[in-house]
């Protein structure tokens, strides 16, 4: 069990590196997003071939998977764009309000009724984000930060849509097939936007783009899939919150983006409310079998 917990933890940490990698790559958000998704999809195909699972490559995933790929590309590119204008902490914490948004949408439009405790946790998460902003809602003279928060909001909406549409995908579509095609579809969405940039890159930038595809792309996904096959979804969902902790930590250590005591408290509220939601949502999933793991992947695996 300890190995699978480590796999889930490293998956979340690897997911959290995309922000720092994007900063060091110093190319457009469209370029970072394309290479993260395209290299990830390519490595997924190679893995399936060498592991004798080529049938998963040549399985038609359905149009719903391709649509979720578009939402995947959207939340990655908007998230990277957001970090150019606001702190990494603000961007990731707003992004992690996506489960809250998805829960509210599912309550009104998908018949997934919110309990009183879930509604309370949503309020706690929103209050935590207000603390992240230090209760400063005056937009005057804060043009760049407002733009960054707007991009982060767009990323959050795309992420919530990604989570919701994933629930509509038939269980017959294996999680590896789904992940590979979602990354490929997302990369194709980004391709024309990337080509418009007309960027020339040096060896160092190519190295960072490769890292984007390998670390937060392929490795993070594979470790998540391994962990989901052995861990209860609640445990995996809890460990997934190592991602925002990683982002905040990297922002502080590498880029001097420190947080005030109020912002730290707000981050803790968002993370704790998210963990509590994960535990409540998957309380019934006590048996970590493969079918439950794959179903849980629709919500907690952030391709």
Tokens 């003279």 found at: 141
Query: Is the pLDDT at 283 greater than 80, yes or no?
Result: no
Name the nearest CA neighbour of 241 among 173, 176, 180, 302: 302
- What is this structure's pTM? 0.85
**263 neighbors 269 (Cβ within 8 angstroms):** no
DSSP assigned state of 173: S
pLDDT, one tens digit per residue, over 16-69 is 999 999 999 999 999 999 999 999 999 999 999 999 999 999 988 889 999 999
pLDDT, one tens digit per residue, over 168-223 is 888 888 888 989 999 999 999 999 999 998 888 999 999 999 999 999 989 998 88
> How many other CB atoms are found less than 10 A from the CB of residue 59?
16
- State residue 289's pLDDT score: 41
**107 neighbors 113 (Cβ within 8 angstroms):** yes
> How many other CB atoms are found less than 10 A from the CB of residue 57?
16
How far apart, in whole angstroms, are the C-alpha atoms of residue 78 and residue 135?
A: 24
> How many other CB atoms are found less than 10 A from the CB of residue 140?
6
**216 neighbors 14 (Cβ within 8 angstroms):** yes
Per the model's pLDDT, the better-predicted residue between 257 and 283 turns out to be 257
What are the extents of the domains in the chain? 2-300
């Amino acid at each position: 069990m300890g190995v699978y917990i480590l796999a889930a933890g490293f998956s979340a940490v690897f997911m959290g590196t995309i922000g720092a990698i994007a900063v060091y790559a110093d190319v457009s958000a469209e370029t970072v997003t394309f290479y993260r998704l395209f290299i990830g999809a390519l490595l997924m195909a190679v893995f399936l071939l060498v592991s004798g699972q080529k049938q998963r490559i040549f399985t038609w995933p359905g149009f719903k998977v391709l649509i979720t790929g578009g939402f995947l590309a959207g939340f990655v590119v908007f998230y990277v764009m957001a970090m150019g204008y606001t702190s990494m902490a603000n961007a990731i914490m707003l992004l992690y309000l996506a489960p809250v948004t998805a829960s509210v949408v599912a309550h009104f439009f998908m018949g997934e009724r919110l309990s009183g405790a879930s509604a309370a946790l949503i309020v706690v998460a929103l209050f935590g984000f207000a603390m992240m902003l230090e209760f400063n809602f005056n937009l005057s003279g804060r043009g760049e930060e407002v733009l960054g928060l707007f991009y982060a909001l767009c990323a959050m909406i795309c992420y919530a849509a990604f989570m919701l549409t994933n629930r509509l995908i038939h269980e017959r579509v294996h999680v590896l097939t789904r992940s590979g095609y979602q990354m490929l579809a997302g990369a194709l969405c980004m391709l024309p936007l990337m080509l418009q940039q007309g960027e020339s890159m040096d060896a160092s930038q190519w190295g960072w783009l490769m890292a984007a595809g390998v670390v937060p792309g392929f490795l993070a996904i594979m470790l998540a899939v391994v962990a989901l096959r052995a861990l209860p979804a609640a445990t995996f969902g809890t460990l997934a919150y190592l991602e925002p902790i990683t982002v905040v930590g990297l922002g502080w250590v590498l880029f001097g983006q420190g947080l005030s005591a109020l912002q730290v408290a707000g981050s803790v509220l968002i993370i704790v409310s998210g963990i509590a939601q994960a535990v409540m949502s998957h309380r019934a999933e006590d048996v970590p079998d493969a079918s439950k793991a794959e179903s849980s992947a629709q919500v907690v695996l952030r391709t």
